[in-house]
């Protein structure tokens, strides 16, 4: 049997949708768009056509591009906004709580719908009606809730219960869905079906009009007709970072995550990271110190500029913005949150690769009537609003930590990967890349190895599977560290596919229910 491609995702229906398009003759872009459309149905707490994201795709012959369809700051044409619908909601994660802001004024101008359509228009090869078909079927007929999705719905329940329109999607029987229950979204299914069968432009216009009508100033929101008229996805050149024989292609400015990952790779290259044994005490201390350095660069020198100055991000990736003390990370060793985001990776038989990360934030708790679309709360997340809420000028492209990534050797794709996980995205991807490229670990081991994350002076780490003395050494160096005994979705969800040695294969992150499907004739 011939292999048509491989897909890694965080949910079984999502992965199967992409595999279905590969079996129908689609390429990696057809597969990833079909999978992402399905994810808006089956991964409803994590992604939505009311959210945004980014995709890097391409092959050795045509080259690689990034389609940036993240959110823009609304408010064009508003002289003085009316009172805003904007309120805090506390989400309980068990070990900690976090406050998010929701309501119509938490919604930024979303790019996911037009971004997916633009990507398919540019690089897909099968008709749109075939690409939307899996998502339409599961939206109309229902899908089986996975354990991971049931758990995340429980976490965001305080937000999802804010309005009847959103609550009806998450809790159709009035109670929290359990793994194995079935959920559906007929309104979204009908909209996707119409999108694939009819005049796409007219249905997109209906979507934009609904955003203005329901999230504009009259309803306590900020999205105006000028905002939606001005919005368009942006094609960018990927950020390129060399690492040994490989080149890492990732999300460029104004996204912040790619630059921080690039900085980490530059420092690791200078320090010859990879000499110590994988999962050993020394390796974990080296990794923690490296992540601390990247965190210090972000918070001490770049915290605000990373979200406002694309040049500072390029400096990081080039190594020009790395402080001199970062070169002495080994000397430092000797002395011493929910990310409602999801990622899909695909490589097809022709060695076209695609990696796409999307998010809905936690959702703002309000939906587009009749469309079944829960809208984002990007304006209500502290992580991507470091200067405070509602401080950016209208029309500003928002920054993100999302970092879909392709690794190439001689321009041929070796790996396609990415992760959800808010600020932990940079740590999850950087550690996975170093596990693969520096420590040369098998793919499943590299993706599912214990993770660490550093934010300022705080360390979080997973202790399962660490080498002898590693946990004790980390706690000695960071006495206030938070230790997780088991793999946790706190540390993201890396989904990675690979091409090498004449085969296509992949690994899903068990932290978020990762699934790999190899499509065959």
Q: Which residues contact 309 (CB under 8 A, 6 or more apart)?
A: none
**CA dist., res. 511 & res. 450, Å (int):** 10
Strands (E), 283-411: 341-348, 353-359, 367-368, 373-374, 405-409
Helix residue spans in 142-274 (DSSP H): 147-160, 164-170, 186-197, 200-215, 225-230, 257-270
Beta strand pairing call for 87-92 and 97-102: antiparallel
- Closest Cα partner for 387 from 327, 324, 308, 479? 308
Neighbours of 278 (CB within 10 A): 17
**CA dist., res. 24 & res. 412, Å (int):** 24
Q: How far apart are the first and last CA of the chain?
A: 6
**CA dist., res. 218 & res. 126, Å (int):** 41
User: Between the CA of residue 57 and those of 63, 105, 268, 275, what are the distances in Å?
Assistant: 8, 33, 26, 32
Task: From the candidates 14, 47, 250, 341, give the one annotated as an active-site residue.
Answer: 341
**CA dist., res. 313 & res. 305, Å (int):** 8
- Closest Cα partner for 51 from 361, 438, 492? 361
**CA dist., res. 32 & res. 22, Å (int):** 10
Q: Assess whether 341 carries a catalytic annotation.
A: yes
Q: Which residues contact 109 (CB under 8 A, 6 or more apart)?
A: 71, 72, 73, 74, 211, 223, 227, 228, 231
What is the helix (H) or strand (E) element at residue 452, kind and residue range? strand 452-455
The upper half-sphere exposure of residue 295, i.e. CA atoms within 13 Å in the direction of its Cβ, equals: 19
Burial class of residue 62, CB neighbours in 10 A (0-12, 13-18, 19+): exposed
Beta strand pairing call for 182-183 and 234-236: unpaired
Q: State the Cα torsion 287-314-242-445 to the nearest 10°.
A: 40
Catalytic residue numbers, as ranges: 341
């Amino acid at each position: 049997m011939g292999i048509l491609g491989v897909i890694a995702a965080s949910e079984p229906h999502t992965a199967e949708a992409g595999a279905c398009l590969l079996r129908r003759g689609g390429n990696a872009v057809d597969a990833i768009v079909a999978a992402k459309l399905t994810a808006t149905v089956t991964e409803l707490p994590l992604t939505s056509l009311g959210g945004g994201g980014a995709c890097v795709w391409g092959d050795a012959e045509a080259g690689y591009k990034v389609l940036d369809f993240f959110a823009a700051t609304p408010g064009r044409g508003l002289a003085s906004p009316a009172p805003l619908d904007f309120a805090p909601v506390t989400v309980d994660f068990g070990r900690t709580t976090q406050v998010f802001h929701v309501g119509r004024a938490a919604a930024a101008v979303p790019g996911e719908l037009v971004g997916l359509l633009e990507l398919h228009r540019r690089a897909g090869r099968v008709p749109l009606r075939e690409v939307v078909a899996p998502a339409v079927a599961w939206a109309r007929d229902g899908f089986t809730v996975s354990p991971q999705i049931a758990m995340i719905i429980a976490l965001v329940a305080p937000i999802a219960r804010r309005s009847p329109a959103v609550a009806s999607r998450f809790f159709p029987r009035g109670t929290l869905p359990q793994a194995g229950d079935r959920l559906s979204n007929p309104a979204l299914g009908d909209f996707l079906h119409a999108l694939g069968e009819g005049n796409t432009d007219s249905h997109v216009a209906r979507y934009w009009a609904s955003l203005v009508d329901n999230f504009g100033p009259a309803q306590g929101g900020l999205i105006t007709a000028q905002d939606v008229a001005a919005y368009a996805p942006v094609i960018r050149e990927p950020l390129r970072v060399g690492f040994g024989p490989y080149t890492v292609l990732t999300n460029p400015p104004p996204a912040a995550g790619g630059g921080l990952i690039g900085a980490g790779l530059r420092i690791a290259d200078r320090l010859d990271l990879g000499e110590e044994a994988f999962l050993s005490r020394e390796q974990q201390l080296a990794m923690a110190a490296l992540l601390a350095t990247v965190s210090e660069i972000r918070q001490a020198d770049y915290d605000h500029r990373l979200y406002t100055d694309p040049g500072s991000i390029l400096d990081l990736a080039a190594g020009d913005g790395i402080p001199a003390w970062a070169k002495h990370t080994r000397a430092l060793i000797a002395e011493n949150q929910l990310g409602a985001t999801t990622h899909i990776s695909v490589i097809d038989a022709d060695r076209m690769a695609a990696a796409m990360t999307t998010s809905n934030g936690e959702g703002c708790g309000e939906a587009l009537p009749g469309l079944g679309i829960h809208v984002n709360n990007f304006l209500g997340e502290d992580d991507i609003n470091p200067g405070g809420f509602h401080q950016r000028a209208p029309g500003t492209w928002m920054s993100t930590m999302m970092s879909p990534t392709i690794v190439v050797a001689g321009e041929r794709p070796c790996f396609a990967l990415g992760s959800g996980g808010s600020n932990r995205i940079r740590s999850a991807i950087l550690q996975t890349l170093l596990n693969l490229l520096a420590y040369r670990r098998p793919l499943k081991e590299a993706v599912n190895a214990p993770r660490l994350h550093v934010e300022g002076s705080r360390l979080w780490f997973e202790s399962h599977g660490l080498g002898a003395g590693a946990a004790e050494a980390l706690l000695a160096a960071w006495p206030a560290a938070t230790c997780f005994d088991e793999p946790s979705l706190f540390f993201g969800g890396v989904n990675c596919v690979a091409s090498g040695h004449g085969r296509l294969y992949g690994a899903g992150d068990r932290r978020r229910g990762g699934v790999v499907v190899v499509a065959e004739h």
